[in-house]
Amino acid sequence: MATLGTTAGAMIAAPLCLLAARNTAPVPMLHAPARWLLDALRGIDSFVFALLFVAAVGLGPFAGVLGIALHSAGSIAKLWSEAIETVERGPIEAAAMSGAGRLRVIVHALLPDVSPSLASTMLYVWEFNLRASTVLGLVGAGGIGQELKSSIDLLDFPRVFAILLIIMAMVTMVDQVSSLVRRRLA
């Protein structure tokens, strides 16, 4: 759930962050509504989104993925737009002055400057979502959280302990992978 939700959230966030950043919004009037949308997505927790999606699509991991995706889209786009706003104007202006179109300026001048920050943000949100996805299982969104809840309900404490160890191992593994990727991008 965490991996799919974060990936879907990043795909939603990509165009939204360009609208929400002052220096990349195609029309300055789009900046404020885009920020309001991001505030709404971030303001509603993935847990609440998952509850709404459980009612809409039924029990299971799909509701959890959708809940994580929407909340993550707001968080990722907000952080990405702020990273984009802090980029040096020189390379962007130089690319624009050379006649490059809007898409080429973004791809060749903007992305190389901000890609380490964008990747770091996405990895952080993925780590957070891994932990959040265990809680989503408690509301019927499936995954390892649902197994944890079932084990607690059955008072199967050896199994609860094993599931908690698995969760801790997964979080540690994701943290190590994330640190490795961040070091390589820096």
Q: Give the residue extent of every domain in the chain.
A: 2-185
> Which CATH architecture group holds 2-185?
Orthogonal Bundle (1.10)
Give me the residue label for tokens 């994701």.
174
Q: Are 126 and 6 in contact (CB under 8 A)?
A: yes
pLDDT for position 59: 79
Nearest to 167 by CA among 140, 141, 133, 139: 133
Phi/psi at 45 (5° precision): -65, 155
pLDDT at 78: 94
- Cα separation of 107 and 26, whole Å? 15
- Residues 94 and 35: their CA atoms lie apart, in Å, by 28
- Token digits for 126? 């993925």
pLDDT in single tens digits along all 186 residues of the chain: 888 999 999 999 999 998 998 887 788 888 889 999 999 999 988 888 888 888 888 877 888 889 899 999 999 999 999 998 888 877 777 777 787 777 787 877 788 888 888 888 888 898 888 888 887 777 666 677 778 888 888 898 999 999 889 888 888 888 888 778 777 776
